[in-house]
Amino acid sequence: MKIALIGYGKMGKEIEKVALSRGHEIVCIIDINNQEDFESEAFKSADVAIEFTNPMVAYNNYIRTFKAGVKLVSGSTGWMAEHGEEIKRLCMEEGKTLFWSSNFSLGVTIFSAVNKYLAKIMNQFPAYDVTMSETHHIHKMDAPSGTAITLAEGILENLDRKSEWTKGTLLAPDGTVSGTNTCAPNELPISSIREGEVFGIHTIRYESDIDSITITHDAKNRGGFVLGAVLAAEYTAQHEGYLGMSDLFPFLND
């Protein structure tokens, strides 16, 4: 399969290696310095483009990829609140194709299913309140992480006493703490920690006066995100529309 890469940073470089190891060809690499290549024949020849950039530029990259008539896989986070509805509409009503996930790792996909199941159980146990925390490397631009937002949505869909998530405390790379831990009973607070080169830790904690139940996913490296993105690209080459991990792993719909 012919793959174009958009964004050649931490994820883009690792995706290149895994895509080559699975027999794919990289036909074009677009970074910040060669934006004109969106119009190149090499880019247009790709079966799928894989985009990992940042919250500010992802939307524009999607529009340029759609214009070139190329299917897209993206893991960029932090753009959904502003542009999510429009991008979904372009895919569902105007024939464009995007496979997006806030986290491509199989481990988080499993964790996400467990999270939803646990939230459903907790409807029977009102003594427990729920909080979430996420820890990432100091270079990360968005907070809360995209994964934390997706996990929070999984809780809101299943736990009747919570209706929105809210930002909790932020521990910044320089050690300063901002935000608050207090929130309304219907709110789920997400605290964020930026520390060293952490790949991504997500913890969901249910706490009562007598005990606590905690589930955690801790990425040991970027291998899971990278393999998942390449598997998603292989899937996207054969499918159309607005796609996600529940298409790739239908057990999530059970």
Ligand X SMILES: NC(=O)C1=CN([C@@H]2O[C@H](COP(=O)(O)OP(=O)(O)OC[C@H]3O[C@@H](n4cnc5c(N)ncnc54)[C@H](OP(=O)(O)O)[C@@H]3O)[C@@H](O)[C@H]2O)C=CC1
Q: Using CB under 6 A as the criterion, which residues of the chain lie in contact with ligand X when the complex forms?
A: 6-12, 30-32, 52-55, 57, 61, 75-78, 101-104, 225
Name the residues annotated as catalytic. 136, 140
Q: Before 126, cis peptide (omega within 30)?
A: no
* Nearest to ligand X of 62, 104 (CB atom): 104
| Single-letter code of the amino acid located at 2 | K
* Nearest to ligand X of 97, 101 (CB atom): 101
- 189 binds ligand LZUJQKHR, rule: CB under 6 A: no
Please identify which residue in 64, 71, 96, 136 interacts with ligand LZUJQKHR, judged by CB under 6 A: 136
| Chosen from ligand LZUJQKHR, ligand X, none, partner binding at 109 (C-beta under 5 to 8 Å by type) | none
**Could you tell me the CA-to-CA distances from 167 to 113, 172, 203, 230 in Å, in that order?**
23, 14, 15, 32
* Nearest to ligand X of 61, 133 (CB atom): 61
- 200 binds ligand LZUJQKHR, rule: CB under 6 A: yes
- 147 binds ligand LZUJQKHR, rule: CB under 6 A: yes
- 145 binds ligand LZUJQKHR, rule: CB under 6 A: yes
**Per CB under 6 A, which of residues 53..112 are in contact with ligand LZUJQKHR?**
77, 102-103
How far apart CA 96 and CA 115 sit, in angstroms, is 31
* Nearest to ligand X of 15, 130 (CB atom): 15
| Single-letter code of the amino acid located at 113 | A
| Chosen from ligand X, ligand LZUJQKHR, none, partner binding at 154 (C-beta under 5 to 8 Å by type) | none
Which residues sit at the interface with ligand LZUJQKHR, rule CB under 6 A?
77, 102-103, 136, 140, 145-147, 200
